[in-house]
Amino acid sequence: MTIFIRWGAFSDTGVLRLQNEDAVLAREGLFVVADGMGGHNAGEVASAMAIKFLGAAQSSGIADAQQLNSIIKEVNEKIFQAANGQTDQRGMGTTLTALAITPTNKSKSENDSKSVTVANIGDSRTYLLRAGEFRQVSVDHSYVQELVSEGLITRDEARTHARRNIVTRALGIEPTVGVDTWTLPLIAGDRYLLCSDGLVDEVTDIDIETCLKLNSDPQQTANKLVEMANKNGGRDNTTVIVVDVLDKDNKVVSKPVDSTLLKPEVNFSFRKLIISVVVAVVALVTSVVTTSYARSGYFVAYEDETPAARVLIYQGKEFLWFNPTIEADSTLIRSDLNLVLDAEIVTRPDFSSPTDVQKYVNQIREVVDGN
């Protein structure tokens, strides 16, 4: 199936700020939101540098999550060097979330298999709306996210916490930085949202989800989300990118029905009708319950038994005719793990939510990066 990408993007200063330190890149194959920090002008410089260098790197093509990870780390070094080279820019940095359609090399055939690679540093976020389910793909690197992860506060409390703007990772602050990357399948019907914290500080996830479901055009949706943030206070810059994955026709094609074939059934008893309806309802409920059970839960496992096996996140269970499906590629390799972590992955640890499994893989990544 031929896949097309359609998007809309909007960045706004907000109600209270005098300048916009957010930066945005939205073009075929690469979408980036960067939220600068570091005082007057410096934050704006850092976010603009991140966008510039990522855009330049994309011109050569981004093959996979590993390459995107390396590119972002190079960007970090350049911002760090620039910050330490000029007094008025010292301490500048930027959060970042990026979505790349990989591979982006234009020399590739249009029919080559493609995927979505998501990367993030800081508290700029990427969300996914898939088959009616809305979830956050990225995991915030922030003080309040650590409190949420430890069960000390709720996600709603984090939105209004006094220290909600403290990030634990950012580009340009340190000479090296850890980058979280995720690889997901490219599926027609998916809708991705990339945003700075100016949106999520003002608009709840429930309202964001509702907006994404009610508005079909990505540009109008992006505009509406920024409008909602400003209406709720607009205390920060707000940047939004909405990315839609579409099939060839951009619509669900239904088979035509010839009304002349819809003839009434003669001598069809009411009792038979009731029985048919009951049987259909029971079958439908059984199917829904079975499918829901088979698709519930997540687990982490190796793709095979070789040392070069990737660490994958699976969704679902082996039940009846159902098989687990790959939810995401963590980009971690078995040979990089120590013996304790390797033995743990062999047991296929399971989790009830995508947030829990993402947190678990991020903890493994931190151990690997620390080595």
Q: Give the pLDDT of residue 230.
A: 97
50 has pLDDT over 80: yes
Q: Give the pLDDT of residue 38.
A: 73
Q: Does the pTM of the predicted model rise above 0.85?
A: no
Instruction: Give, in order, the Cα–Cα distances in Å from 118 to each of 97, 102, 335.
Output: 7, 10, 23
Q: Give the pLDDT of residue 39.
A: 61
215 has pLDDT over 90: yes
Q: Which residues of 49-76 are buried (b: 16+ CB within 10 A; e: fewer)?
A: bbbebbeebbeebbebbebbbebbeebb
307 has pLDDT over 80: yes
Instruction: Give, in order, the Cα–Cα distances in Å from 164 to each of 140, 259, 300.
Output: 11, 59, 30
Q: Please compute the mean of the pLDDT values over residues 279-297 and round it to a whole number.
A: 65
Q: Give the pLDDT of residue 292.
A: 67
pLDDT (tens digit, 9 = 90+) per residue, 78-132? Answer: 999 988 887 667 789 999 999 999 986 544 444 456 899 999 999 999 999 999 9
Q: Over pLDDT 70: what percentage of the chain?
A: 82
Q: At what angle do helices 205-214 and 218-231 cross, to 10 degrees?
A: 150
Q: Please compute the mean of the pLDDT values over residues 173-180 and round it to a whole number.
A: 93
* 34 touches 92 (CB < 8 A): no
| Domain extent listing, the chain | 4-246, 266-294, 298-370
Which residues have CB under 8 Å from 221's CB, separation 6+?
Answer: 8, 211, 212, 215, 242
* 326 touches 313 (CB < 8 A): yes
Q: Please compute the mean of the pLDDT values over residues 224-246 and round it to a whole number.
A: 96
Q: Please compute the mean of the pLDDT values over residues 26-42 and round it to a whole number.
A: 86
For residues 301 and 2, give the distance between their C-alpha atoms in angstroms, rounded to a whole number: 30
Q: At what angle do helices 65-85 and 42-58 cross, to 10 degrees?
A: 140
Q: Give the pLDDT of residue 252.
A: 34
Q: Which of 47-56, 246-255, 348-357 has the highest mean pLDDT?
A: 47-56
- Does 294 or 355 have the greater pLDDT score? 355
256 has pLDDT over 50: no
pLDDT (tens digit, 9 = 90+) per residue, 144-176? Answer: 999 988 899 988 888 888 888 889 999 999 999
- CATH class belonging to 4-246: alpha beta
> Which range, of 75-79, 101-105, 249-253, 320-324, averages the lowest pLDDT?
249-253
Please classify residue 270 by burial: count the beta carbons closer than 10 Å to its beta carbon, then call 0-12 exposed, 13-18 middle and 19+ buried. Answer: exposed
263 has pLDDT over 60: no
285 has pLDDT over 50: yes
267 has pLDDT over 90: no
Residue 369: pLDDT band (50, 70, 90) is confident
Residue 252 DSSP label = P
Give the chain's mean pLDDT: 85
Residue 73: pLDDT band (50, 70, 90) is very high
> Which range, of 60-69, 94-103, 162-171, 259-268, averages the lowest pLDDT?
259-268
Q: Give the pLDDT of residue 77.
A: 95
266 has pLDDT over 80: no
